[in-house]
Structure 1
Amino acid sequence: MQKLTVAVLCVLSSILSAQKSANKQGTMLNSPDKAVHQAVQNETDQIFNKLVEIRRRFHENPELAGQEAQTQEFIKNYLRDLGLEVKTDIYGHAVVGILKGDKAGKKIAWRSDMDALPNDFPDPVAFKSKVKGVQHGCGHDVHMAIGLGIAEVLAKHKKDLKGTVYFIFQPEEETFKGAKEMLNKGLLSKIDPQEIYGLHVTAIPVGQILVKPNEMFAYQKRVRIQMKNDLNKEDTDALTKKISNSLSRFIDGSKPWEIQNIVDPKIGLSNPGTAFKDYRFPGGKFSSYSKNGAYFLETDLYETNASRLDQIIPDIKKAIEDNGYKDQLVSISFIQENPTVINNEKLAVAATDILQNLYGKDSIVSDYGQVPFFNDDFSYFQQKIPGVYFFLGGSNFEKGVIAMNHSPNFQVDEESIRTGVKTFSSLLIERLKN
């Protein structure tokens, strides 16, 4: 998960039980074979301790984007030992494992990201990073363990598996580069999935999964304003404050920039009254600098509504002109416009139906908001392949484990690995049949 602003260190308050998911929609699915999914649970339990050790191995030996050589080697060998066909010739240190079931069916991809972060935050675990200044502070070590676990469980069902599963282990997610480059280098000429799925561990409670159709994150735009002449600090502060006020839009009383509240039962993502919907705001103070005789102001903006993105630049222009700087303004432009994760509506509803049918109404919770500050280049895969991206709970508040990505003392309750492997192995089995 790429974080697009400074890390947020948060203190989380008491958490109540997750509310039940919204009413199901869409077509009824084929009845699942409950015995198969009981076997999936048993097989997950059998390999759980091994997967925890694998996760800790990745955590102790993190590699930055573009440097995932040891990680690639481990994943490649693990998948080959499971009997999968393995490709490593697509881009960088990517690995693609191909599991072909013995029965006819569709083709589905599961994506796991691989790279670590360049930071040296406090890490309160015994299995700390052995690499100075590099750390799995975003949970990609957990994602890889889950991806390998799903591959191992499904490999045990090869004789009865309908179709093909591609396990995409993607490098360079934190730089928002790996997915795009894999596609540019011909990934879809080597594999042809009809659907793609992925997840990200985050600060919601362990055992909980959140999903929604359409946007999972806010749209992020980095804006650059060019002025003719330098402004002093006082004038800069006054102008940028007025621009920020004119741009900000959110539900009365809500504070969507207080990201620690995504888990709050009253205003968090799982509540229809969430503070994390229908907003626009700048992500912090403007930066300012002079270059080649011109003066520049820059900031990130977060907007939940795609139809309002085109209004950002006109609104900034109006705020500048209204405050007496019309003759000073040279230009306003977007200098970064990464796509955001947008879940296929039909597949998101179908996945919710499947998992609630198999594991109960509370196994997957409706997400009613959009998370600011973060994003994921899984969005590039979704531009080519219909797909769904899930939030997987990693926090255990009773134990003081808070999975707030990119923050000091980031931790993950490793029970999330069990939840991820069991749940999404079952999902893929059922989607292959439908």
Structure 2
Amino acid sequence: MKKLVFLLSWFVVSSSFAQEPLSHESIKLQTDRIFSNLVKIRRDLHENPELAGNEIRTQKVIAKYLLDLGLEVDTNMYGHGVVGILKGGRKGKTIAWRSDMDALPNDFADEVAFKSKNKGVQHGCGHDIHMAVGLGIAEVLVKNKASLNGTVYFIFQPEEETFIGAKAMINDGLFSKIKPDEIYGLHVSALPVGQIMVKPNEMFAYQKRVKIQLKNELSKEEAKALTKKIHSSLYRVSSSSKPWEIQLMIDPKMGLKKANTIFKDYLFMDENFSTHTKNNTLSLQAYLYETDSTKLKDLIPKIKQVVEESGYKDQLLSISFVQDNPTVINDEKLTNAASKTLQKIYGKEVMIADHGQVPYFNDDFAYFQQKIPGVYFFLGGSNPEKGIVAMNHAPNFRVDEESIRTGVQCFSSLIVERLKKK
């Protein structure tokens, strides 16, 4: 009888221990154990990049990995999307993690042993890193699913580079299949490896492509002079700052980390407009970048005023935005909560406050945020000591693979903590 009581007591204690909440030290250890395999997967994806709409092999690799982990997997999605579903051992809220899948059409120098095997196609934006991080989070969490509260959805999204995939997945019924309460995602950036950056509200400037159509009665010189006037009339930057020099985003004195960064409160426009003539119509097009959403409504009237004051009122046919994508806007409450959580666990040296908005780039993650409160992070991928600069879409773009470890560890912890919240 004493032996039976001992065995029953041991069973109760063991069961209770097994159901203890997943510790962040355990997350760190588990991340370290799987890190080398995640690097291997990342390099395989890097060697076999696929353009938007062609992520066939990528889908198979992702789906197999999730199935091998024991997740429920749905590939009946728009394009070549994949959703892995991890149901925790306890009831709770639902959280989604997004990783994008597609590569870029370029053939830049790529000085790594695992360079692309597909000519003219490269993972020059870091989506291979994003997928490795997403798979790593899934692996860490699935090994501890009995102690998780709620459900985690791992959304692997195609066609991000063309700004199509997220919206198409939603239109194809993604959120009738899954119903997350919150959604998170990241993008590798030129920040130092080991750092994560985030801010509430806009992460990027609003990017618009404006199209001005006039009767084709202007000479080349007149058209050029007009575009210069439009460019200068819309110019708004702080004294001597150059927010179009994107490499300055990591500058210690004027970059995103500084409260007085040059990457806030600006409006600038491409200096060189594209010019086309067709059917006696002159078309002038250029991108502009504005940080203040309240000023967007004034842009077209301002351009119209410049055209008319330049003496071309009778030649003006129309002014419109021909590209008007939404921008990533982080939910303020969730962003603040996530920042505090990660700072508490991993320290302020890991979790960095962002004080600006990045021009040129954007992410169709914005469409998910229109449906669900969400947060989008910048994950540092540069390591100057190794000669690695993770400036996306640039020649010699490279990423320190230690960023995978940082991403898996930190965001596994974040999801575990968010699942505890009611």
* Same-fold status (TM-score > 0.5): yes
Residue pair 2:88, 2:148 contacting (<8 A) in 1 also: yes
Instruction: Tell me the equivalent position of 1:424.
Output: 411
What is the identity, as a one-letter code, of the residue corresponding to 1:106?
Answer: K
Q: Pick from 27, 37, 54 the counterpart of residue 24 of structure 2.
A: 37
**What is the TM-score of this pair, normalised by structure 1?**
0.91
Is 1:267 aligned to residue 267 of structure 2?
no
Is 1:242 aligned to residue 229 of structure 2?
yes
- For residues 282-337 of structure 1, give each alpha carbon's deviation from its aligned partner in whole angstroms, at most 9, with x where no partner exists: 13411111011111100011000110000000110111122222221111011110
Q: CA deviation at 1:235?
A: 1.5
Instruction: Tell me the equivalent position of 1:217.
Output: 204
Q: Pick from 50, 54, 59 the counterpart of residue 67 of structure 1.
A: 54
- What is the rounded CA distance, in whole Å, between the counterparts of 2:270 and 2:307 in structure 1? 19
The DSSP-based 3-state class of the residue aligned with 1:361 is: coil
The DSSP-based 3-state class of the residue aligned with 1:392 is: strand
Identity %: 67
Q: Which contiguous aligned blocks of 4+ residues in structure 1 show a shift greater than 2 angstroms?
A: 230-233
Instruction: Tell me the equivalent position of 2:319.
Output: 332
What is the identity, as a one-letter code, of the residue corresponding to 1:69?
Answer: I
Q: Pick from 56, 78, 84 the counterpart of residue 91 of structure 1.
A: 78
Q: CA deviation at 1:129?
A: 0.2
The DSSP-based 3-state class of the residue aligned with 2:46 is: helix
- What is the rounded CA distance, in whole Å, between the counterparts of 2:379 and 2:164 in structure 1? 23
- For residues 207-237 of structure 1, give each alpha carbon's deviation from its aligned partner in whole angstroms, at most 9, with x where no partner exists: 1111000000000111000011242222222
- What is the rounded CA distance, in whole Å, between the counterparts of 1:329 and 1:150 in structure 2? 54
- What is the rounded CA distance, in whole Å, between the counterparts of 2:246 and 2:234 in structure 1? 19
Residue pair 2:231, 2:271 contacting (<8 A) in 1 also: no
Runs of 5+ unmatched residues, structure 2: 1-19
Instruction: Tell me the equivalent position of 1:343.
Output: 330
- What is the rounded CA distance, in whole Å, between the counterparts of 1:231 and 1:149 in structure 2? 58
Structure of higher CA gyration radius:
2
The DSSP-based 3-state class of the residue aligned with 1:265 is: coil
- What is the rounded CA distance, in whole Å, between the counterparts of 2:278 and 2:112 in structure 1? 45
The correspondence of residues 23-172 of structure 1 with structure 2, limited to 5 A, is 36-172=23-159
- What is the rounded CA distance, in whole Å, between the counterparts of 2:195 and 2:273 in structure 1? 36
Is 1:292 aligned to residue 279 of structure 2?
yes
Instruction: Tell me the equivalent position of 1:231.
Output: 218
- What is the rounded CA distance, in whole Å, between the counterparts of 2:273 and 2:45 in structure 1? 37
What is the identity, as a one-letter code, of the residue corresponding to 1:240?
Answer: T
- For residues 255-290 of structure 1, give each alpha carbon's deviation from its aligned partner in whole angstroms, at most 9, with x where no partner exists: 110000000011101110100000111134111110
Q: CA deviation at 1:371?
A: 0.4
Runs of 5+ unmatched residues, structure 1: 1-32
Alpha carbons of 1:34 and 1:203: their partners in 2 closer, same or farther (altered >3 Å)? farther
**What is the TM-score of this pair, normalised by structure 2?**
0.94
The worse-fitting range, judged by mean Cα deviation, of 100-109 and 35-44 is: 35-44
What is the identity, as a one-letter code, of the residue corresponding to 1:357?
Answer: K
The DSSP-based 3-state class of the residue aligned with 1:339 is: coil
Alpha carbons of 1:35 and 1:161: their partners in 2 closer, same or farther (altered >3 Å)? closer
The DSSP-based 3-state class of the residue aligned with 1:374 is: coil
- What is the rounded CA distance, in whole Å, between the counterparts of 1:208 and 1:110 in structure 2? 19
Instruction: Tell me the equivalent position of 1:398.
Output: 385
- What is the rounded CA distance, in whole Å, between the counterparts of 1:216 and 1:254 in structure 2? 19
Q: CA deviation at 1:102?
A: 0.4
Residue pair 2:153, 2:180 contacting (<8 A) in 1 also: yes
The worse-fitting range, judged by mean Cα deviation, of 150-159 and 222-231 is: 222-231
- What is the rounded CA distance, in whole Å, between the counterparts of 2:420 and 2:195 in structure 1? 25
- What is the rounded CA distance, in whole Å, between the counterparts of 1:105 and 1:167 in structure 2? 17
What is the identity, as a one-letter code, of the residue corresponding to 1:272?
Answer: A
Is 1:174 aligned to residue 174 of structure 2?
no
Residue pair 1:88, 1:94 contacting (<8 A) in 2 also: yes
- What is the rounded CA distance, in whole Å, between the counterparts of 1:202 and 1:124 in structure 2? 18
What is the identity, as a one-letter code, of the residue corresponding to 1:49?
Answer: S
Q: CA deviation at 1:424?
A: 0.2
Residue pair 2:160, 2:363 contacting (<8 A) in 1 also: yes
- What is the rounded CA distance, in whole Å, between the counterparts of 2:22 and 2:154 in structure 1? 25
Residue pair 1:108, 1:164 contacting (<8 A) in 2 also: yes
Q: Pick from 329, 342, 350 the counterpart of residue 355 of structure 1.
A: 342
Aligned CA RMSD, in angstroms, stands at 1.0
- For residues 152-196 of structure 1, give each alpha carbon's deviation from its aligned partner in whole angstroms, at most 9, with x where no partner exists: 000011010000000000000001000000000000110000000
The DSSP-based 3-state class of the residue aligned with 1:375 is: coil
The DSSP-based 3-state class of the residue aligned with 2:51 is: coil
Is 1:408 aligned to residue 395 of structure 2?
yes
What is the identity, as a one-letter code, of the residue corresponding to 1:122?
Answer: A
- What is the rounded CA distance, in whole Å, between the counterparts of 1:118 and 1:63 in structure 2? 9
Residue pair 1:230, 1:290 contacting (<8 A) in 2 also: no
Residue pair 1:226, 1:329 contacting (<8 A) in 2 also: yes
- What is the rounded CA distance, in whole Å, between the counterparts of 1:428 and 1:284 in structure 2? 44
The DSSP-based 3-state class of the residue aligned with 1:115 is: coil
- What is the rounded CA distance, in whole Å, between the counterparts of 2:128 and 2:217 in structure 1? 46
Residue pair 2:326, 2:366 contacting (<8 A) in 1 also: yes
Equivalent pairs counted in the alignment come to 402
Q: CA deviation at 1:35?
A: 6.7
- What is the rounded CA distance, in whole Å, between the counterparts of 2:49 and 2:81 in structure 1? 15
- What is the rounded CA distance, in whole Å, between the counterparts of 1:283 and 1:432 in structure 2? 44
